[in-house]
Structure 1
């Protein structure tokens, strides 16, 4: 198996781990008899855990090697999937989610840093396709979780089996990751350092893209139900369509980046997402609203992969650059659904998605920051040169 295929499958396993647990949150709520407020606090814990763990991930990768760190952390992340369902009380659920979030964030940083290094070696863009594989893994695992929930299977059994299968798959496919001795020597990542101006600028683009993505994913069904009066089935389908368009765009985006470059890809993506936002804001029917959400998904699809690639190339080390920008995008993903809800409550649903449309426009305007300066030019830009099709 090639190094490229190996890291693509690692991304798919990572996505599947997250998708497996997401479908069983209602079971956990009912099992522990959690109020919406307590569940909301519990669901904040993964982000807190990720913020705590991510700054240490790049140092771990430097100390033991990116390949070894990726294998270890992907295994811990898959094992942690089963922990929330085993929690006997809310306090244990908080602890389980903290560990779950820490392993998620740390594995996210090291596998993206490893992917940036491989992208440099290949001399062409691969990050969007890798994140597309993450979406594929999430969708497959989410579908399996829906079937398990519909069949009434205990989440402890479902997630326990899923954890064992994914852990085994993660260890199997990660054997063929790029060897640690193939990675260039670099300075040790700092224990803590504020992101540089270049990383912050890239992070703002990532913040805008993740804001539009997170808000649309969480609020699409509610928006269509409340604004266009769509039925429950049609409203729920909006999320699936949004994710399908985002995943399919990521899978082909590397080829487009190879032709037009990462800056143009993000700039045009922002325009597409803004058009989608306008359709959502002006929607008089569910079909128009779903079309708008599909365009938002298509427009923001490549933003996070390209932001990670750009940050990895502009940081002192790939891991440090990815960690800096990942912190910003995680913050956006954490706050976006809440801010959208607050704006909708204070004004209206249409106004809240007008704000999201503005975020897409800002993302397009600031796209040029992905191509400025840095430790190395992004492979997404050098991908314009002819390269072998296989890796």
Structure 2
């Protein structure tokens, strides 16, 4: 298995954990007899755990190497899938979700940092496709979870079996990841870096630096619009476009499928036009989709608007991770810096959207969200490629066997 394919499998496994858990939240709620308010508090714990854990991940990647850190943290994330359904009380569920979120965020940081290193080795963009594989894993696992729920399979059995399967997939993929001694500056542990590329250890708690904040603002806007659309598209279709339950659920599915499909093919666009033009184009497409959503009063038109938002936003967050990984002191520190910003945005977007909708109405709320999207073309220059230096992409050496074949070759 080539390093590119192996890392794609890692992203798919990470997404499958999230997709599996989300489908069994109702079972967990019924099992523990949680009120909506208690469930809401419980669901705040994973992003809080991730927010706290992510700034420490770059130090682990530096100390042990991004390959080893990715393998271990992915294993913890996959193993953690089995535990929420086993929680004996709400208090234990809060603790489990906090640890679960920490494993999610830390593994997210190190695997994206490893992707930055692999991009340098290959000398071409691959991040969008990897995030597309995350979406594929999440959608596939979500579909399997829906079938398990409809068949009334106990969530402890379902999530335990999926956890074991994903642990096996992650272990197999981990063996194929790019070694830390592949000769790429900043790829892993300090003992592997070349003598002519001195590199200071990352901070123990890598909050965003001033250089990362501009890049993070792009990620904040994109993630805010994505979180608002994914969490509220079904409700919007129901309340504004008068859609039935099936059509409303289909609106969310269309949004996610458009985002996943664009991410799987987005690297070609990025290679052709560059990151700044890709963000500008995507922002314009997403803003057009927002305008359609605000104006829509029929299900078909609203679904078309959400589809455009998904298509437009798809490649922006992957580009944010790539750019941050290339300008940070190490890939892990740069990715951790923007990840804390994007996770914060993802945490507040659903709540802020709900408050705006309750105060101003759904169309006005999405008009303001469209205003956030309009900022993306203006902020796009923050993702301009850094000037060539020790962190510039490197092609495989002539005497080495090619590291990768295209995922669909």
- TM range, smaller chain: over 0.9
Q: CA deviation at 1:131?
A: 0.1
Q: Deviations over 1:354-380 (max 9, x none)?
A: 111111110121011011647859879
User: Using a 3 Å threshold, how does the CA distance of structure 1 residues 211 and 334 change in structure 2: closer, same or farther?
Assistant: same
User: Using a 3 Å threshold, how does the CA distance of structure 1 residues 201 and 179 change in structure 2: closer, same or farther?
Assistant: same
Q: Give the RMSD, CA atoms, in angstroms.
A: 1.8
Match of 2:136 in 1: 136
Query: Is the partner of 1:29 in helix, strand or coil?
Result: helix
Q: Deviations over 1:165-189 (max 9, x none)?
A: 0011101111100012114333211
CA contact (8 A) 2:58 2:206 kept: no
Match of 1:244 in 2: 257
Provide the C-alpha distance between the structure 2 equivalents of 1:352 and 1:213, rounded to a whole number of angstroms: 14
Provide the C-alpha distance between the structure 2 equivalents of 1:375 and 1:216, rounded to a whole number of angstroms: 37
CA contact (8 A) 1:311 1:322 kept: yes
Match of 2:356 in 1: 343
Q: Do residues 233 (structure 1) and 258 (structure 2) align?
A: no
User: Using a 3 Å threshold, how does the CA distance of structure 1 residues 214 and 379 change in structure 2: closer, same or farther?
Assistant: farther
Provide the C-alpha distance between the structure 2 equivalents of 1:208 and 1:374, rounded to a whole number of angstroms: 25
- Structure 1: state its 5+ residue gaps: none
Match of 1:124 in 2: 124
Q: Deviations over 1:87-124 (max 9, x none)?
A: 01000000110111000000000000000011011110
Match of 2:330 in 1: 317
Pick the aligned partner of 1:201 from 214, 220, 225.
214
Normalised by the length of structure 2, the TM-score is 0.92
Match of 2:58 in 1: 58
Query: Is the partner of 1:181 in helix, strand or coil?
Result: coil
Q: Deviations over 1:40-72 (max 9, x none)?
A: 110010011111211111111111111111110
Q: CA deviation at 1:158?
A: 0.3
Provide the C-alpha distance between the structure 1 equivalents of 2:313 and 2:258, rounded to a whole number of angstroms: 10
Aligned residues: 387
Query: Is the partner of 1:284 in helix, strand or coil?
Result: coil
CA contact (8 A) 1:278 1:354 kept: yes
Provide the C-alpha distance between the structure 2 equivalents of 1:231 and 1:388, rounded to a whole number of angstroms: 49
Q: Do residues 150 (structure 1) and 150 (structure 2) align?
A: yes
Alignment of 1:1-391 (within 5 A): 1-182=1-182, 183-184=184-185, 185=193, 186-371=199-384, 373=386, 390=405
Provide the C-alpha distance between the structure 2 equivalents of 1:33 and 1:261, rounded to a whole number of angstroms: 51
Normalised by the length of structure 1, the TM-score is 0.96
Provide the C-alpha distance between the structure 1 equivalents of 2:42 and 2:226, rounded to a whole number of angstroms: 22
Question: After the TM superposition, which segments of 4 or more aligned residues of structure 1 sit over 6 Å from their partners?
Answer: 377-380
User: Using a 3 Å threshold, how does the CA distance of structure 1 residues 209 and 377 change in structure 2: closer, same or farther?
Assistant: farther
Provide the C-alpha distance between the structure 2 equivalents of 1:205 and 1:337, rounded to a whole number of angstroms: 18
Provide the C-alpha distance between the structure 1 equivalents of 2:174 and 2:157, rounded to a whole number of angstroms: 26
Q: Which has the higher helix share?
A: 1
Provide the C-alpha distance between the structure 2 equivalents of 1:220 and 1:98, rounded to a whole number of angstroms: 27
CA contact (8 A) 1:256 1:265 kept: yes
- Structure 2: state its 5+ residue gaps: 186-192, 194-198, 396-401
Q: Which moved more, 1:182-191 or 1:369-378?
A: 369-378
CA contact (8 A) 2:122 2:404 kept: no
